[in-house]
A and B are shown apart, each in its own frame.
Chain A
Amino acid sequence: MLSSDSRSVRWTTVAVSVLFGAALWEFGTRGMNPAVMSPFSATVLRLVEMIHSGELGAGAAQSLALFLTGLSAAVLTALPLGLLLARVRVLRVAFDDYIALVYAMPMVALIPFILSIFGLDFPAKALVVFLFCFFPVLYNTVEGARSIDSELIEVARSFRSSEWAVWRDVMIPGAFPYAMTGVRQAIGRGLVGMVAAEFFLSASGLGQLLMISARNFDTAGLFGVVLIITLLGAGLMAVGQALENRFTTWRGVGR
């Protein structure tokens, strides 16, 4: 429905919706205890203060570094592994149910194990993000590669394609759109992993800012950081969505 709107209508909608929300936030919270609820203006002021002092920038940089390390490690390992599982049928049959099981499992439950085995430094935190991101990519790549029409591979083989050519021309293009669905899911889950790692392993980044401001009843600061994390999440999810849309056009009709 919204997609049928023209661009100007969409932007007006967003602007009105933002203004309306900000006004509600500002005037609906007047007279409340500032330790419990902070009005919009106070939040923005506190946010500006945090940007000037540099703590917000440093925190966001730390968090992003953690997130990107875990995500890229996960994508770089899960993609090839998923394609391998898809190409070698025995492996896929042997392992796909277990992958689905771990994919559905709440990964946060493993954080205490990681804390006690690997400590609480950056590598352990990156491992948490990695675990959150790895299985969505693996699962979706295997699913995608399974959906490749086996006739395509057979045709390629019967035209004497080398194994490398089968990978280059059939497997990778066929599985890639699904893998991108996995990457989008991995971005969403990796953000959860990032914040959880910063809460429960050594406190750092945006997670630490959240905890400190909550502990100090600095509600304005807390709202400010939540706002920044929301914007970060929405931005990264939009990137993931764009990636997925960019490559799903490959899927063609009926997919």
Chain B
Amino acid sequence: MIREQEAGWGRALALLGRARSAEARRQGHWPRLAHATLPVKIAGGIFLLAISELAVRLFAPAYVSRPTGVFRVLPQTISNPAVLSGAATTLGAVLEGTVIALISGTVIGLAMGRLKLVDRFLRLYVDGLSAMPMVAIVPLFTIWLGFTSWARLATVIFAAFFPIAINMSSGARSVPQGYLEVARSCGASTWHVLSGVTLPASMPYLLSGIRLAVGRALVGAVVAEFYLSVDGLGYFILFQTRTFHHNEAFVAVLLLALVAVGVDALINWCIRRYMPWYRTGERTR
């Protein structure tokens, strides 16, 4: 893209010849700047850190977290057993819930994508419940499951299920009819068509569904921990902010952000590595 731009500029400049103005020369810098993005990005990061440091120092009470404070407590917080076990339980619940949602969501999504009757009965409910703010379900789970980690798991499953089911159903629906006909005319059984054609062909949809699901699952887990006061990273954040240890709490926030971004990057990498013909960053929900 950048090279094209430069080539385009070259041609334009050759055509314009003498008409090359100071204005054009000024604009000509921009494509070259693209090769030097890293220093600019680092400068941007330093700027943001400096601004937040300054703002907190000037306007906020002393207990509010600020970059230098977070940096100072980083080593001891990272090695704090409460953080480690909290991270393990929260991420364990997210993983467990996402896997359960993945299995059930794939099955329901496949059924909705391939069987019109199932779609007609479930579409309304799946769409409606996925539009509902998932945190609203937590009080109901406290009635059914008590203030326990089971309620957190249920929240995570509830949060992660709908993006997977919806994306899976649109993926299953988007499989080219030709693939299915070829598979069938070669004598493939229903099961083989599903596992050998439909599922692989809808993989990119499923992967972006998983990406959304993990994001929502993290939110669900943290909200559930706030509401239920069960152990985990969310509860660690709640407890530390209540006792005015904002810096320590912010380290946990950074951990959560790291997990969210890491999962995003992993899934993008999977799509690029194994399905390079699909554009990444595809916009589904």
**A interface residues (Cβ-Cβ under 8 A, vs B):** 1-2, 13-14, 16-18, 20-21, 35-36, 89-91, 93-95, 97-98, 100-102, 104-113, 115-117, 150-151, 154, 157, 181, 185, 188, 191-192, 194-196, 199-200, 206-207, 210-211, 213-214, 217, 219, 222-223, 225-226, 229-231, 233-234, 236-238
- Chain A residues near B139: list those with CB within 8 A: 210-211, 213-214, 222
- Checking A105, A110, A117 against B60 with a beta-carbon cut-off of 8 angstroms, the contacting residue is A117
Closest to A219 in B: B143
A154–B131 CA distance with the chains assembled, in angstroms: 41
Q: Does B40 contact A36, Cβ atoms closer than 8 Å?
A: no
B207 within 8 A of A: no
Which residue in chain B gives the minimum CB-CB distance to A209? B139
* Contact A157 B244, CB 8 Å, known A199-B135, A210-B139, A229-B133: no
For the complex of A and B, 3 pairs with smallest distance between CB atoms: A94-B44, A214-B139, A112-B241
Task: Tell whether, in the assembled complex, residue B222 and residue A20 are in contact, meaning their CB atoms are under 8 Å apart.
Answer: no
Closest chain B CB from A85 CB (angstroms): 11
The stretch from B80-88, B120-128, B197-205 touching chain A is B120-128
Cβ 8 A contact of B249, one of A101, A112, A192: A112
- A36, B64: Cβ atoms under 8 Å? no
Chain B residues in 8 Å Cβ range of A207: 136
Cβ distance A159 to chain B, nearest Cβ, rounded Å: 13
A245, B172: Cα distance in complex, Å: 23
Q: Mark B117-147, 1 if CB is under 8 A from A, else 0.
A: 0011111110111011111111110111000
Contact (Cβ within 8 A) A17 B124: yes
Given known pairs A105-B256, A113-B246, A233-B132, the reply for A226 and B140 (CB within 8 Å) is yes
Within the complex, what minimum Cβ distance (angstroms) separates A189 from chain B?
9
Interface contact A233-B131, CB-CB below 8 Å: yes
Cβ of B225 to closest chain A Cβ, rounded Å: 10
Contact partner, B261, options A101, A154, A157, A199, Cβ 8 Å: A101
Beta-carbon contact of B246 and A116 below 8 Å: yes
Shortest CB distance A79–B (Å): 18
- CB of B237 closer than 8 Å to a CB of A: yes
Additional 18 contacts, C-beta under 8 A, given A36-B144, A108-B226, A109-B234? A13-B123, A90-B33, A93-B37, A97-B41, A105-B260, A107-B219, A110-B253, A112-B237, A113-B65, A113-B249, A116-B63, A116-B244, A195-B133, A210-B139, A222-B139, A226-B132, A229-B133, A238-B131
Is B136's CB under 8 angstroms from A229's CB? yes
